[in-house]
Structure 1
Amino acid sequence: MALGTWLWIITIGFCLAFLVISWKVKDKATSSYAEYVIGGGSLPFFLIFFTQFATIMGVGNFVGHAASGARVGLPHMFFILGEQGSKIIFALFFAGLAGRFTYKTVSEMMDDLFVRDRVTRMLVGLVASLIMIAWVGGQGKAFGHIFSVITGANPTWIILFFSAVFILYTTLGGIYSVVWTDFLQGILMFVFGAVFYYYAFAPVDFSLTQLATKLAEGGHGNLWAVEHVNTMSLVTMFVTGCIGILAAQIYWQRCFAAKDGRTARNGLLYSGIIAILMVMLTALVGMVIVAVNPEILSADGKLAADPMSWFLQSAHIPTFVAAMIFALILAAGMSSADSNLNSAATLIVNDLILPLKKDATDQELVRYVTIATVVVGIFAALAALYATTIIGLFSKAYSIAGGALVPLLLVGLLWKKRAGEEFRMGTRNSNITPWGARTGIVVGGVLTQVEALGAHRNLIALGVSALLIVVVSLLTKESMEESSLRA
């Protein structure tokens, strides 16, 4: 059977399975707003672990990192340490805190604990949703590319098809659809991932020494060198990865959904450790592909073809194994898409609609979030259709959200009004004022897009935003206290 036929069989099978799961959980999910978006804050460890793992391992962690490994070589490992290591940092320092609360979004948490300002909450919700929307579109665009290369199908129709599936099963069951389909997808990733790495490293006899030798023989020995890596660039990569995850609603939402802080911390910690190992292996696979087919990488460092697509169609692996690897990529993309779609819809309803419609009933909120899921899914599909590249689709959103929101989060957590007191839901414990928060959000987000600031503009944006939050808060502290007294 041809690989293209296998792809369609696997795709239809996956989609039907996900729809069945979503139909089974829809009644529980729609019973209340809290159930729909955070599972009532009672999810056990195995669901938190698998949903975190499946969400982390999107299409980019297989297709994108394989291409980067083929093009950049060993230096790309440092980027992976920063990007994926940020999940471990989040788990150790933030997940346990978030797991104690039952907020719906990171915006709601910062509003309740830091500022109590509707405008700030809406700004945070809007900016945070940019990452989620972009990632949904990115998964659809990746599927469109893979199907186009292997089956010859029109990528536009593929993007629309997968977007419709994302929307349908996520709308049906909310967070329950996400975590239970992620549970299935996570298991498939472990099984098919083992098969993938076995066949991928077989051409070099599972030896890094032989990999380095073959790269040198093919004229690409520079891929196995790190001497030219700039230390400051590594620091920037690591910090960029960290600030990205701190602004990502998907990770906060899983922590809020966990039954307690320990469950939230361990779920993300263990999934993050495994993700680092798997993504590093994927980058090495990219180098193996160059070693096997040196012509895929030109002398000036440009790829003649997508390494993973070439690998799936090469004679080095049987067709049924290529189909299993595609199933791995499909599971990864579907899990990231549904998680980000649900998180984006939750942000829009919880932080853009709810502050303006505080008298909304629980069932009205459930209806709003289901409608938002459909709207966000359609918007993400359109973004995927018109974006030039997957990276271009979310890179700006990623940096804007990090520069705008991370300084507010860190300053809020560190600059307490009552230093010895733990944060508690319903109790504001921060010196940040509304104007300090608003100023930091706007300036931080804008500075990340000022190219004149150079390659380290994200770091500059973080520092300037944090400084302005403190300075403006000190200048407006008195007016805020007077406002509170009048209220």
Structure 2
Amino acid sequence: MSLATWTWIITAVMCLFFLALSFRFKEKANISFSHFAIAGGTLPFVLILFTDIATIMGVGNFVGHSAKGYDIGLANIPFVVGEQGAKIVFALVFAGFAAKFTYNTIAELMHDLLLRDKISRALIGVLTACIMIAWIGGQAKGMGDLFAVFTGTDPLAMILVFSAVFIIYTTVGGIYSVVWTELIQGGLILALAIWFYFQVFAKIDFSFTTLKTKLNAVGAANLLELNLSFGEIATLFITGCFGILAAQVYWQRCFAAREPKSASRAMFYSGIVAIVFTSLTTLAGIVAKVQNPDLVANQAMPWLIMEQMTQGAALIFFTLVFLAAISSAASQLHSAAVVIINDLVIPNTAKKTDAQYVKYTRWCVLLVGVFAIAAAMWAESIIGLFSMAYTMAGGGVIPVLIVGLVWKRRKQEAFQMGTQNSGVSPWGARAGLVSGAICSVALGILWGVLISTVLTILLSLLLPANRDHGASPSPRMM
């Protein structure tokens, strides 16, 4: 059979398998909104670890970062270190703290512990949802580009089919579907990725010197030059780092963890995997440049597989990327839907039952999926889509979060659910969130972070909130 036929068969079999698995967890997801969103805070270390790994190693990394390697070479590494190294920063600084609580979202955490302002909570929800919509769109776009090369099919057709699959299985089983399928997917991704990198770097004899010589021969020696200014490196690093720190999907895994230690260890190990694998993917894009210097960057990785490997190897690679894409997309889709219901709908509507909230979230999965498909068709590049979302959310949310955590009104008290303990006022938070997002896009994230921090502090001093600082009711107090 042809490569195109085998590709369709593998796609169909895996889609059916994961859809069937999702129905296995439908009843557990229906127990409550908390179970649909964070599994009731009961997930063990092994599930947190592999869901982190599977989420990180999406098609955006395999196709997007290889395209950047093909296009700009080692200049992509600062963004990689910022984006993927942020997971280690998150593990060391935030994961253990976050896992002490059972909030559903980062916006809910900031609302309860720091801000007590529905408008700020909604703004945080919108900004963090943008990251996930961009991520989902990136996975769909990457799969469309890859599938077009493998089968000759219009990328739009694959984007629609692929999106339908992860929308359905996320809708049915909630976070239980996501983490259990990612336990399988994460293990396979690790094994297949190691095999794939071995195949790629064998083409340059595992030698940096050989790579340099071959790049000189095709007039692309500049790809091995890190010819960036300090400001450019700092911008790339901060964009990736702050964007990841604002990503709801990682906070959500911490809230879902059975214990704080499990959350921090899982994120730390997955962060190391992410830096290594994503850096290698950038280098794989440079290897593709050696093999064919006349490609469109987004087609670098698919071409390398199609033209430089056997049919069997190409099918294994397709399986790897498909698993990575569907696991990452499902995680982001679930997180985005939870954010919208938890931070935009629940605080601003009359109280409903858990069953109704679960129903709303399932419909929201569909809505977010549609927006993600639109993002996939609109974006010119995967990493460009990620970068814009990281810039908006990281520049707006993270400065307010850090100021809020550092500026404690009662310095000796630990943060606890139901008790507000921060000097940041509602108007300070609103100004910081909006100015940080806008200025980061317009002026660069370094200016955005600075302006957000200054305005958050200044307006909180000029317009402080009148709070009683006592405990307030919380449905998930520990």
Residue 443 of structure 1: CA displacement?
A: 1.4
**What's the counterpart of residue 235 of structure 2?**
236
Residue 406 of structure 1: CA displacement?
A: 1.0
Residue 74 of structure 1: CA displacement?
A: 2.5
- Structure 2 Cα separation of the partners of residues 240 and 379 of structure 1: 23
Determine if the alignment matches structure 1 residue 254 to structure 2 residue 253.
yes
**What's the counterpart of residue 156 of structure 1?**
156
Mapping for residues 414-429 of structure 1, pairs under 5 Å = 414-429=406-421
Q: Where in structure 1 do 4 or more consecutive aligned residues deviate above 6 Å?
A: none
1:174 aligned counterpart, secondary structure: helix
Counterparts in 2 of 1:240 and 1:144: CA distance versus 1, 3 Å: same
Residue 47 of structure 1: CA displacement?
A: 0.5
Q: Which moved more, 1:247-256 or 1:281-290?
A: 281-290
Give yes or no for contact 1:296–1:305 (8 Å, CA) kept in 2.
Answer: no
**What's the counterpart of residue 446 of structure 2?**
459
Partner deviation per Cα, 1:331-381 (whole Å, 9 max, x = no partner): 111111101100010001101111023521111111111111111112222
Counterparts in 2 of 1:436 and 1:54: CA distance versus 1, 3 Å: same
**What's the counterpart of residue 382 of structure 2?**
390
Counterparts in 2 of 1:321 and 1:405: CA distance versus 1, 3 Å: same
- Structure 1 Cα separation of the partners of residues 298 and 387 of structure 2: 22
Counterparts in 2 of 1:25 and 1:398: CA distance versus 1, 3 Å: same
Determine if the alignment matches structure 1 residue 480 to structure 2 residue 466.
yes
Counterparts in 2 of 1:230 and 1:417: CA distance versus 1, 3 Å: same
**What's the counterpart of residue 78 of structure 2?**
78
1:332 to 324, 327, 335: 324
Instruction: State the one-letter code of the partner of 1:310.
Output: W
Partner deviation per Cα, 1:287-315 (whole Å, 9 max, x = no partner): 2222233x336xxxxx477211111211x
1:74 aligned counterpart, secondary structure: helix
- Structure 2 Cα separation of the partners of residues 331 and 108 of structure 1: 31
**What's the counterpart of residue 209 of structure 2?**
209
Determine if the alignment matches structure 1 residue 290 to structure 2 residue 283.
no
**What's the counterpart of residue 165 of structure 1?**
165
- Structure 2 Cα separation of the partners of residues 271 and 136 of structure 1: 20
Q: Which moved more, 1:341-350 or 1:156-165?
A: 156-165
Task: Compute the TM-score of the two structures, normalised by the length of structure 2.
Answer: 0.94
- Structure 2 Cα separation of the partners of residues 190 and 365 of structure 1: 36
Give yes or no for contact 1:195–1:321 (8 Å, CA) kept in 2.
Answer: no
Counterparts in 2 of 1:71 and 1:383: CA distance versus 1, 3 Å: closer
Instruction: State the one-letter code of the partner of 1:280.
Output: S
Give yes or no for contact 2:170–2:177 (8 Å, CA) kept in 1.
Answer: yes
- Structure 2 Cα separation of the partners of residues 430 and 304 of structure 1: 47
Give yes or no for contact 2:427–2:459 (8 Å, CA) kept in 1.
Answer: yes
Superposed CA RMSD in Å reads 1.8
Instruction: State the one-letter code of the partner of 2:65.
Output: H
**What's the counterpart of residue 309 of structure 1?**
302
Give yes or no for contact 1:128–1:248 (8 Å, CA) kept in 2.
Answer: yes
Give yes or no for contact 1:403–1:465 (8 Å, CA) kept in 2.
Answer: yes
- Structure 2 Cα separation of the partners of residues 113 and 92 of structure 1: 20
1:430 aligned counterpart, secondary structure: coil
Residue 78 of structure 1: CA displacement?
A: 2.6
Mapping for residues 108-147 of structure 1, pairs under 5 Å = 108-147=108-147
- Structure 1 Cα separation of the partners of residues 271 and 298 of structure 2: 30
Count, aligned residues = 470
Partner deviation per Cα, 1:29-88 (whole Å, 9 max, x = no partner): 111111110011010011000111111111121111112112222232232212211111
Give yes or no for contact 2:64–2:382 (8 Å, CA) kept in 1.
Answer: no
**What's the counterpart of residue 300 of structure 1?**
none
Give yes or no for contact 1:203–1:292 (8 Å, CA) kept in 2.
Answer: no
Determine if the alignment matches structure 1 residue 357 to structure 2 residue 353.
no
Determine if the alignment matches structure 1 residue 319 to structure 2 residue 317.
no
Instruction: State the one-letter code of the partner of 1:12.
Output: A
Residue 120 of structure 1: CA displacement?
A: 1.4
Counterparts in 2 of 1:68 and 1:394: CA distance versus 1, 3 Å: closer
Unmatched 5+ stretches in structure 2: 471-478
**What's the counterpart of residue 474 of structure 2?**
none
Partner deviation per Cα, 1:417-468 (whole Å, 9 max, x = no partner): 1112211111111011111111111111121232xx3xxx211111111111
Mapping for residues 96-111 of structure 1, pairs under 5 Å = 96-111=96-111
Residue 93 of structure 1: CA displacement?
A: 0.4
Residue 159 of structure 1: CA displacement?
A: 1.2
Give yes or no for contact 1:296–1:307 (8 Å, CA) kept in 2.
Answer: no
Instruction: State the one-letter code of the partner of 1:309.
Output: P
Counterparts in 2 of 1:482 and 1:333: CA distance versus 1, 3 Å: closer
- Structure 2 Cα separation of the partners of residues 475 and 219 of structure 1: 58
Unmatched 5+ stretches in structure 1: 298-302
Identity of aligned residues (%): 49
2:43 aligned counterpart, secondary structure: coil
Instruction: State the one-letter code of the partner of 2:143.
Output: F
Partner deviation per Cα, 1:110-165 (whole Å, 9 max, x = no partner): 00000111121112112211111222122112211222222121222211111111
Residue 221 of structure 1: CA displacement?
A: 2.3
Counterparts in 2 of 1:472 and 1:399: CA distance versus 1, 3 Å: same
Give yes or no for contact 2:145–2:155 (8 Å, CA) kept in 1.
Answer: yes
- Structure 2 Cα separation of the partners of residues 304 and 97 of structure 1: 40
Residue 482 of structure 1: CA displacement?
A: 8.9
2:25 aligned counterpart, secondary structure: helix
Residue 199 of structure 1: CA displacement?
A: 1.2
Give yes or no for contact 1:404–1:445 (8 Å, CA) kept in 2.
Answer: yes
Residue 483 of structure 1: CA displacement?
A: 12
Residue 387 of structure 1: CA displacement?
A: 3.5
